[in-house]
Amino acid sequence: MALELNFETERSCCFTGHRIINAETQIKLRAVLPEIITDLISQGYNYFFCGCALGFDLICADVVLELSKEYPVKLVAVIPCDNQSALWSDYSRLVYGRIIKNAHYAIKTGDRASPENMRIRNRYMVDHSELCVAFYERKKSGTAYTVNYALRNKKRVINVYEMIENGYVQEKLF
């Protein structure tokens, strides 16, 4: 059972995205995410929920932690189970451990790794957010499930994948 904290949903945002992202796209994400998140902060968002999965989640968490040195924002790590990172590479477990250690809050939503516990984590983040920032390309994935859940629940969704595909990042870099 997840610990219930008293977050203001209308000032909260969650992240969801694909786990496998090529190196070129990761560079683009690291270029555009600080600007996107800073813009959200200027709109009053101050809680950022992250499921701490590989890929997009950990990149976003890293950016929020960096921005929290300059802005009054909080990273909320929403962990689906104790052993989420058990099968990851040593480097990925090191990054994950640093994110969990430095998160302002950590909430565990389940006890063991299972597809259902991943969905419970994702629904928890959406339920406690007004906005979902996604990196969403494939129609069948955990990210697709989370984006569709957010849309069904009338949450605003920003798809960073579409921004990159439409040249937003190239305009900012060059």
Please give the mean pLDDT across all residues of the chain. 90
Residue 44: count of CB within 10 angstroms of its CB: 10
Of residues 163 and 5, the one with the higher pLDDT is 163
Res 166 pLDDT > 60:
yes
- Looking at residue 5, its pLDDT comes to 59
Across 33-42, average pLDDT:
96
* Whole-angstrom distance, CA of residue 170 vs CA of residue 157: 22
Asked if residue 62 has pLDDT above 90, the reply is yes
Q: pLDDT exceeding 70 applies to what percent of the chain? A: 90
Q: Which domains does the chain have, with CATH numbers?
A: 9-155 (3.40.50.450)
Q: Per the structure block, which two tokens stand in for 89?
A: 């590479």
Q: pTM (2 decimals)?
A: 0.90
- Provide mean pLDDT across the span 133-142: 86
Contact 89, 95 (CB under 8 A): no
